[in-house]
Amino acid sequence: MNREQYNRAVDRFSDALYRFVLGLCRSREIAEDVVQDSYMKLWELLSAVDGDKVKAFLFTTAYRRAIDILRRERKFADVESLEERGGTRNPEHVDLQQVLNAALDALPTVQRTIVLLRDYEGYSYKEIAEITGVAENNVKVYLFRARVAMKTSIGSPDKVV
């Protein structure tokens, strides 16, 4: 991989990478840091990364870094929660995005990651398996269970309207 390919990767994948990490962490500051760390890691390993696999490299790096941060946050129980850093929510106005976010937040981290990658970003099962390190068959199982849990959590359409 060369500098020109690196710059193209930044242009092509930055937004999707940020959305993915933001979906995991629910914190803009953490998402920005993780994306920046991922691109720094890519820059450090520029000659070792194949240009065709840069997307998987970036998402894998970002996923692992975000998980590390989330584990550290839980371990040290920071004074402010991740939700507080993500912004305030107005309880009077409930829209579809808030309901989906609440259902997504209730999922275990692995399931939430797989839903974000598959349903929000449109990755294939194989790509998700590469990014997360979970076997492809398990990706399908986790996705099914996550969708069932979200459906149960959301309940009837009356909750959304």
Distance CA 37, CA 87 (A): 23
* Structure confidence at residue 90 (pLDDT): 46
Helix intervals (H) in 26-135: 28-44, 54-76, 82-86, 96-105, 109-115, 125-132
pLDDT at residue number 82:
46
Across 3-7, 84-88, 102-106, 132-136, least confident range: 84-88
Nearest Cα to Cα of residue 35 among 20, 48, 50: 20
Domains of the chain: 1-88 (1.10.1740.10), 90-161 (1.10.10.10)
E strand or H helix that includes residue 2: none
pTM (2 d.p.): 0.66
Note whether 118 and 128 are within 8 A (CB).
Answer: yes
78 DSSP 8-state letter: -
Residue 137 has pLDDT above 90, yes or no: yes
Query: Does 135 score more than 90 pLDDT?
Result: yes
Instruction: Indicate whether 145 pLDDT > 60.
Output: yes
Cα distance between residue 28 and residue 93, in whole Å: 22
Checking if the pLDDT of 37 tops 60, the result is: yes
134: Cβ contacts below 8 Å, ≥ 6 apart = 110, 114, 128, 142
Picking from 153, 31, 155, the residue whose alpha carbon sits closest to that of residue 85 is 31
Write down the pLDDT at residue 157.
60
CA distance 47 to 49: 6
- Residue 138: predicted pLDDT: 95
Q: Do 117 and 128 meet the contact criterion of CB atoms below 8 Å apart?
A: yes
Q: Is the pLDDT of residue 78 over 70?
A: no
* Token pair in block for residue 49: 């990364």
Q: Taking each helix axis as running N to C, give the angle between helix 125-132 and helix 136-154, from 0 to 180 degrees, rounded to the nearest 10.
A: 100
Cβ(123)–Cβ(73) below 8 Å: no
Q: Which residues lie closer than 8 Å to 96 by C-beta, 6 or more apart? A: 160
